[in-house]
Amino acid sequence: MAKIIECVPNISEGRNHEVIEACVDQIRNTAGVTLLDYSSDASHNRSVITFMGSPEGVMNAAVALTKKAVELIDLNHHTGEHPRMGAVDVCPLIPLKDITTEEAVGYSKQLGERLWNEAGVPVFLYEDSASAPHRVNLADIRKGQFEAMPEKVKDPMWTPDFGGAFCHPTAGCTAVGCRMPLVAFNINLSTDNVDIAKSIAKIIRRKNGGFDCVKSNGFLIEVPADEEKGSPARKYAQVSINMTDFNRTPLYRVVEVTKAEAKRWGVWVTGTEIVGLTPMRALIDSAEYYLQLEGFDFDKQVIENYML
């Protein structure tokens, strides 16, 4: 069985097509990895690249990408809505197959060391790889952004894990760490009252006493009229969710609690959506629950597991 890691670097360039392609080419041209997706946001001025492969391949590709980003991106000239502290702002490693969290943390530390040694960028370890509890959340590490980093790294609380009290003058700092696969999951409601979605979002998220592995918020989704299809404009409230560890908080449980809470407002769930990629396990868990499947062994009974 082959070890497979997913890697989702975020680079601080979402407008210049040539720079973005030059960075993505580093993934395309590295052996042992597969480019899954990349997308750019001009207002955020940021691109998210998703690839996967062997641990060795993933580390090589991330180093090559970082070298190219350091060469081409200068944060002194970077503007955008999304907070950022580095040319490669953050580079999470996600254990996908035949690899424990502990092993993936080990690889993230190897990668951090290589980014400093080979690309000259200081690295903070975050999430499961963090060297202290106050360094788990990326938002805390990144607070002050690129502009404040040269001063911030002098504080022993915020010295990078690799590179010492230093911030690269044009490429800033990078956060590297192991985290669980994240599933972006939306639940649509039979109402256009966004306050109901916001109330439910609060009920289900950890921040307000809800599920440990749920981050959520409520939004109003406005769908314009489509004259060609003859469909009128419509609005509906949506609970938008990041499932940060579906092994610990499964999707079906969040759906069932959302249904139960929506009922008190006379509202029901009209549908759900998964945005982007999901590991199959996130859905198999829900099938097991609703079908009342007993004694199912995911690793041994799902035939695709023998192909990977």
The secondary structure of 32-87 as a DSSP string is: TEEEEEEEEETTTTEEEEEEEE-HHHHHHHHHHHHHHHHHH--GGG---SS--SBS
- 7-36 residues in contact with its own copies (CB under 8 A) are 34, 36
Name every residue whose Cβ is closer than 8 Å to that of residue 153 and which is 6 or more positions away in sequence: 122, 159, 160, 164, 165, 166, 167, 173
Determine, following the binding rule CB under 8 A, whether residue 304 of this chain makes contact with its own copies.
Answer: yes
Q: Do strands 174-178 and 88-97 pair parallel, antiparallel, or not at all (unpaired)?
A: parallel
Q: Which is nearer to its own copies, 37 or 102 (CB)?
A: 37
Determine, following the binding rule CB under 8 A, whether residue 293 of this chain makes contact with its own copies.
Answer: yes
Of the residues 44, 82, 134, 168, which is catalytic? 82
Which residue from 29, 117, 287, 299 is in contact with its own copies, where contact means CB under 8 A? 287
- Of the CA atoms within 13 Å of residue 108, those in its CB half-sphere come to 35
Q: How far is the CB of 280 from its own copies (least distance, A)?
A: 5
- Of the CA atoms within 13 Å of residue 305, those in its CB half-sphere come to 13
Determine, following the binding rule CB under 8 A, whether residue 229 of this chain makes contact with its own copies.
Answer: no
Q: How far is the CB of 187 from its own copies (least distance, A)?
A: 9
Stretch of 129-137, 149-157, 204-212, 278-286 lying at the interface with its own copies (CB under 8 A)? 278-286
Stretch of 130-138, 145-153, 235-243, 268-276 lying at the interface with its own copies (CB under 8 A)? 268-276
Name every residue whose Cβ is closer than 8 Å to that of residue 62 and which is 6 or more positions away in sequence: 7, 9, 91, 111, 115
- 136-195 residues in contact with its own copies (CB under 8 A) are 181, 188
Judge whether 82 counts as a catalytic residue.
Answer: yes
- 246-265 residues in contact with its own copies (CB under 8 A) are 251-252, 255
Total site size for its own copies, rule CB under 8 A: 44
Largest separation between any pair of C-alpha atoms in the chain? 62
* Distance (Å) of CA 34 to CA 21, 178, 199, 267: 15, 19, 40, 43
CB 8 within 8 A of CB 100: no
Stretch of 10-18, 200-208, 235-243, 287-295 lying at the interface with its own copies (CB under 8 A)? 287-295
Q: Which is nearer to its own copies, 85 or 237 (CB)?
A: 237
CB 137 within 8 A of CB 77: no
Q: What is the DSSP letter of 206?
A: G
Q: Which is nearer to its own copies, 170 or 188 (CB)?
A: 188
Q: Which is nearer to its own copies, 156 or 224 (CB)?
A: 224
**Interface with its own copies by CB under 8 A: which residues?**
4, 6, 34, 36, 52, 96-97, 181, 188, 251-252, 255, 269-274, 276-280, 283-296, 301-304, 306-308
What residues act catalytically? 82
